[in-house]
Amino acid sequence: MFDRVVLIVKAGDGSDGAVSFRREKFVPFGGPDGGDGGNGGDVVIVADSDINTLYAYRRRRLFKAKDGGRGLGKKKHGKNGESLALAVPVGTMVWQKADTEQDTLLADLEGNGQRVVVVRGGKGGRGNLQFVSPTNQAPRIAEKGQPGEERTIILELRLIADVGIIGYPNVGKSSLLAAASAAKPRIADYPFTTLEPVLGVVEVRVHSFVLAEIPGLIEGAHLGKGLGHEFLRHAMRTRVLIHLIDGSSPAPVENFVQVNTELGLFDPALAQKPQLVAVNKVDLPEVKSRVAGIKSAFASVGVSPLFISAATREGLPELMTQTWKVLQSVPTAESTGGETPKKVIRPKPVA
């Protein structure tokens, strides 16, 4: 999944103004009539709900808007350069890449049609008509157009989902998503089957919410190990987490603690998200016989887990109902102003 790309964007250059004089037969006292140059086009990033990946930018890295047209005689203004709109998925964050300092957030495009101008086109130069004065009635000078802005930006996609399923690799996250929704994630009996997040819609009576299976992580994920940041980046958007535990694991509580440690090391806000802990594979005899012991072990860390089987759907309705109840108590991004502060940089006009 292409969910992070680095692009170089260049706005169009403003064109030069014209030096021209009116020369028409039988028209006396012809004076300067040079028009202004056209402004360069902007580069705009636009959120589009019909797109779900940044795959279109996998090869091309440089994007440039059109330059303005030159000014002409007869007071003709040069044509303004056409702006360039780059479509990205809803949920894309736009960053200005910094060489030494921390990258700057330009915009967080959370809604369809939301847009941000990342570089602005250069202003067109003035033609000699603009320089006429009582002391200089036939100026032979014109202004050059200004160059358009250029910068390196980062497009980073973070899926927008209500609930995210997290946990170690191969604990049954794909099976849980498939059992709870109509999504069809890839399911296999080896770790890291899922290499990119998968979304599904879960219905609880007359209500529904978006559930995301987020690829598994390992110790050191906050440093980028395994799928590392690929997992943690998408978990940032969710409001509630379902922490899935493998009931056949020899140390389920240690697994639970380790995953939460990785969340906290990557971003403390992640570790503070509401969690429901679900112990999977209770349909297996060896897991069913350990239920009491697992309950006791989790009680020692102040957690009361739910026991489910993604394979047989045992305990699944209760888990989804509890998830919906927790969702109702968690403010949405709109009511809280969003999880990520939105900072838009607007260049100051050149005098």
In angstroms, rounded to a whole number, what is the distance separating the alpha carbons of residues 342 and 319? 34
In terms of pTM, does the model score above 0.85?
no
Q: Which fold has domain 1-157?
A: Spo0b-associated Gtp-binding Protein; Chain: A, (2.70.210)
Query: In the prediction, which pLDDT does 12 show?
Result: 97
Domain ranges of the chain: 1-157, 163-332
Q: Is it the case that residue 190 has pLDDT exceeding 70?
A: no
Q: What is the pLDDT of residues 258-267, one digit of tens each?
A: 888 888 887 7
Query: φ and ψ at 6, to 5 degrees?
Result: -115, 125
CATH homologous superfamily of 163-332: P-loop containing nucleotide triphosphate hydrolases (3.40.50.300)
Q: Is it the case that residue 208 has pLDDT exceeding 70?
A: yes
- Mean per-residue pLDDT, 137-160: 90
In angstroms, rounded to a whole number, what is the distance separating the alpha carbons of residues 210 and 191? 24
315 versus 184: which is more confidently predicted? 315
- Mean per-residue pLDDT, 284-295: 94
DSSP state of 185: -
In angstroms, rounded to a whole number, what is the distance separating the alpha carbons of residues 152 and 99? 10
The two structure tokens encoding residue 190: 């080896």
Q: Which residues contact 334 (CB under 8 A, 6 or more apart)?
A: none
Lowest mean pLDDT among 5-19, 41-55, 229-243: 229-243
What's the whole-number average pLDDT of the chain?
83
